[in-house]
Structure 1
Amino acid sequence: MKIVIAPDSYKESMSAEHVAQHIESGFRQVFPTAEYVRVPMADGGEGSLDAIKASLQGQEVTLTVKDAYFNDRPASYFLEADGKTALIEIAKICGIEQTTPEQRAPGRATTYGVGQTIADALNKGVEHIVLFIGGSATNDAGAGMVQALGAQLLNQQNQELPVGCLALADLAHIDLSRFDARIKQVAFEVACDVDNRLLGPQGATYIFGPQKGVQPDQLQQFDDCLRQFANVIEKDLNLDAPSIRGGGAAGGLGAGLAVFCQAELRNGFDIISDLVGLRSQIKDADLVLTGEGRIDSQSARGKVPCGVGNLAFEYSVPVIGIAGSVAHDLDEVYQQGVNAVFSILNKPMTLAEAFKNCEENLINTSKNIALVIKSAALVK
């Protein structure tokens, strides 16, 4: 029997790799001779690179870049073994989790370090760059990124703008004469877990700005700055940034990558499943086990359990979801190839208790699920 274990992380508790290890540990107590294939997964948000690099051959590259607030910091990206593909996680460069709420300054937060990281990958001769853009602290639509790659963002006096979203209010002209020409020779893919566009009430600022420190009375001002950026992009480059589906991701970085790097924005799960070869492992499996911290109706919006379920459904392979907690509204989840869902909680408990006992509860729940499967053969 071949069992594929492809979970997401349990946020703030266990990495995807650790979740997979503990599920296997529970199942091995019941099916010790089964073939187990662990494929840690993610959906493109923070932690994606750590989740999948165990499934890939290559090396981590460390460098010093500017963080969200233009301070030097060590960062890293992953270079696949053939040297042709670089995987870059934005949260490792200018991530919101690197700051406390008191430190957040979205007006000057910049993606400059993203451009520095891309430049380093270009220096190594890559032909393909994949960016995971969830979890950023920025709202500059990639302006800092393109500045680091040689673009000049100029005001009416032909002076270069400082970094950050609020500086874009004075943008009058974009000069790409010094923009890194190697960009055109590289295929860019963006793992994106939202489909919001750049501007307006459902755009980058209004939906994601508050968590980055944008105050309610500043939302229109920040949105207007991005609108000015979009207007100058249309004037100088003849491109329509506001219409890009997913362009609002990571404070508009999705739009910046699409405009300046001709990046293809794709569902994060789809990109990651391709990278780790999940389809090839599932197609001849007998059972697939997946999960995340909480499985609910939002899991049906491109999250890992339903991504795994839909993929396994193509090959008629049953899927069981194992989660820290589960909601009652799971009809949409069951409609996407997930056959059953279980919570690892064995009694009412606080969140702190759930975190403390997570490993033990996951192993025990996995063992009990395996016992049910084994005993099902005895039912007449």
Structure 2
Amino acid sequence: MKVVIAMDSFKGSMSSLEAGEAVAEGIRRADEQAETVVRPLADGGEGTMDALVHGMGGEIQRIRVTGPYGRKVECRYGIIEKRKLAVIEMAEAAGLTLAAPDERNPLYATTYGVGEVICDAVAKGCRRFLVGIGGSATNDGGAGMLQALGYGLLDEKGEQVPFEAQGLRWLQRITSDRVLPELSECEFLVACDVENPLCGELGCSAVYGPQKGADPAMIADMDRWLLRYAQLADAISEMADPYYPGAGAAGGMGFAFRTFLHASLRPGAALVLEETGLEEAIKTADLVITGEGQLDRQTMMGKAVAGVAKIARTYRVPVLAFAGSVTKDVAGCTENGIAAYFPILHRVCTLEEAMKSENARENLADTAEQAIRLLRVGMQIHTEKRNDSVK
């Protein structure tokens, strides 16, 4: 029996691969002959870099870059050498958590550090990029990133405007004659799970600005500056569409990536599933096991677990799901390709006890073991009945 295991992380307890290995351990207890294939799973947000790098034999890089408020920060990103692939989480260089709550002000926040990460990865041979853009502190439309990559965002004197969002108020012209040459060889895949446009009532300034420290006056100013920025971008790129779904993601990073780097904006879970080659593994599987910290009605609404179930359903491979907890409104799981789901807790305990890594791994392995034992019993009964009918 070949079992493909693709577990999302149990946040606070287990990473994606730790959960996958716990399931594999339980399966081996029940069936020593079973072949287990563990693949990382993530949705493009926090944890995606670690899941892909560790699951695909990559290496973590650590570099010093310009943080969201100008101070140098240590940023991690991953390289999967065999694919010339860099995996970047924008929040590592320009994340909201890199600043204290009383310091947050999107007028002065920049994405320059993200551009520095890209430059470093290009210098190390990467030509494909998977970028998660969640958790940003910025609202500069990706202007800082573009400046780090060699674009000219110039004022009326022909000088670079300040790197942060407020620099856009002085923007008069955008140039590309000094852009990093290797960018023309690069492919950018951006994990984007929102459809907000760049500007307007549903734009990044209005919707996400307040959580980054913007007041109504700032929101109005930034929205106006971003619209002007998009109009100037139209002069050098036919893809400059401020109303494209996802253009407003991460304070306008969706717009910058698509307009200037010709990036594809895709749901994060779908990108990860594609990069890990999960579909190829599932094609020849007898069983697929997936899961996450909590199964609920949102599980099947575009989350990573839903993507696994969809692929398995295409190849008519049964799916089991394990979770730390299961809510009452989870019925949609069985309607969307998950044959059965199991909470992994075996006794009454506190949330703190349940979330301890060692307890979570043990509970998950034990649940997997019992599920496979039950499955084997069912297979045995089926075989015996078939043999009796032949006789």
TM-score, normalized by length of structure 2?
0.87
* 1:269 to 2:269 alignment: yes
Number of the residue aligned with 1:59? 59
Aligned counterparts, 1:94-109, within 5 A = 94-109=94-109
Number of the residue aligned with 1:69? 69
Number of the residue aligned with 1:244? 244
CA contact (8 A) 1:2 1:287 kept: yes
- C-alpha distance after superposition, 1:36-58 (max 9, x if no partner): 11111111112111011123244
1-side partners of 2:137 and 2:351: how far apart? 26
Question: What SS does structure 2 have at the residue aligned with 1:93?
Answer: helix
- Quote how far apart the aligned CAs of 1:266 are: 2.0
2-side partners of 1:377 and 1:104: how far apart? 59
- Structure 1, 10-19 or 120-129: larger mean CA deviation: 120-129
Runs of at least 5 residues in structure 2 that lack an aligned partner in the other structure: 383-391
* 1:310 to 2:317 alignment: no
Return the match for 1:361 from 363, 371, 380.
363
> Larger C-alpha radius of gyration, 1 or 2?
2
1-side partners of 2:259 and 2:376: how far apart? 54
- Structure 1, 49-58 or 345-354: larger mean CA deviation: 345-354
- Quote how far apart the aligned CAs of 1:66 are: 1.1
2-side partners of 1:281 and 1:299: how far apart? 22
Aligned counterparts, 1:71-90, within 5 A = 71-82=71-82, 84-90=84-90
Question: What SS does structure 1 have at the residue aligned with 2:7?
Answer: coil
Distance 1:227 1:39, change over 3 A: same
- Quote how far apart the aligned CAs of 1:236 are: 5.5
Distance 1:27 1:112, change over 3 A: same
CA contact (8 A) 1:96 1:212 kept: yes
* Aligned AA (1:369): A
- Structure 1, 341-350 or 22-31: larger mean CA deviation: 341-350
- C-alpha distance after superposition, 1:205-240 (max 9, x if no partner): 334334433346644443333323223223554543
* 1:113 to 2:113 alignment: yes
Distance 1:216 1:277, change over 3 A: same
2-side partners of 1:277 and 1:267: how far apart? 16
Question: What SS does structure 2 have at the residue aligned with 1:65?
Answer: strand
TM-score, normalized by length of structure 1?
0.90
* Aligned AA (1:358): A
- C-alpha distance after superposition, 1:259-305 (max 9, x if no partner): 11111122222222222211111111111111122222322232111
Number of the residue aligned with 1:27? 27
2-side partners of 1:222 and 1:340: how far apart? 49
Root-mean-square deviation (CA), in Å? Answer: 2.5
Distance 1:353 1:178, change over 3 A: same
Number of the residue aligned with 2:164? 164
Number of the residue aligned with 2:291? 291
* Aligned AA (2:268): G
Q: How many aligned positions are there?
A: 380
Number of the residue aligned with 2:300? 300
